[in-house]
Structure 1
Amino acid sequence: MSVIDLADAKAFLDVIHDADDVKLQQLLDAAEDEALQFMDRDSFGEVYPCEEASSEPASEPLVLPDSVRMGIYILLQANYQASPTDAEQLRKVAETKLMPYRCRLGI
């Protein structure tokens, strides 16, 4: 289950049809997974700071920082709409958006 709603992702991509909904959902799930891997996190539960998330269930709905949400949208766009060359550039932009939330960089 995605953290980002499919309708929001479709709005970002300017997709107005339902023909690709299954494909878009799979790509959205993959983009979220890619973002988590890049940020070296297990979940979006406590996106900032990098301390371990508490084991208690969250009492409030999850709210992603806007730059993390944008990074995921850009990764989705790279997979759905971009040429291979453009996809590489979009991934670099997404990494820039996600970098402040990356953990365990080891200084």
Structure 2
Amino acid sequence: MSIITIEQAKQNLNVFHDEDDANLQLLLDGAEDEASQYLGMESLNALVDQATGKLPASVTTGVMILLQSSYQASPDDALKLRNAAEIKLTPYRIGWGI
């Protein structure tokens, strides 16, 4: 189950119907998993603010950009979006392997 809700994802993507919910949930789960792998974390749960129950805004934005790259983007735009997501996520990255 994702930290970011399907409702948040649909709002971000301007999706106003329920027909794609199962596909969107799968892509959202994948985007969160990809973000956690990029960050070198087992999951994004470690970044959740205990007071608010939310991820940092830039991490949420990074995940949403990854979701958009999978759901709406052309192949050329997908690469640009993925690069933008990395920019948002990089400050939270651990274990750079250097």
Q: TM-score, normalised by structure 2?
A: 0.92
List runs of 5+ in structure 1 lacking aligned partners.
49-57
Which residues of 2 match residues 15-30 of structure 1 at below 5 A? 15-30=15-30
TM-superposition CA deviations, 1:17-58 (whole Å, max 9, x none): 11100000000000000000100101223229xxxxxxxxx9
Q: Aligned to 2:64, which of 64, 70, 73?
A: 73
* Structure ID, larger Rg: 1
In 2, the alpha carbon distance for the partners of 1:45 and 1:2 equals: 10
In 2, the alpha carbon distance for the partners of 1:65 and 1:93 equals: 16
Q: Matched residues, percent identical?
A: 51
Matched, 1:87 2:57: no
Number of matched pairs: 98
- Normalized per residue, which structure has more helix? 2
RMSD of Structure 2 on Structure 1 (CA): 1.8
Which residues of 2 match residues 1-107 of structure 1 at below 5 A? 1-47=1-47, 62-107=53-98
Query: Conserved in 2, the CA contact under 8 Å of 1:67 and 1:97?
Result: yes
> Comparing both chains, which one has the higher relative contact order based on Cα–Cα distances under 8 Å and sequence gaps of 6 or more?
1
| Stretches of 4+ aligned residues off by more than 2 angstroms | 45-48, 58-62
CA displacement at 1:105 relative to structure 2: 1.3
Q: TM-score, normalised by structure 1?
A: 0.85
List runs of 5+ in structure 2 lacking aligned partners.
none
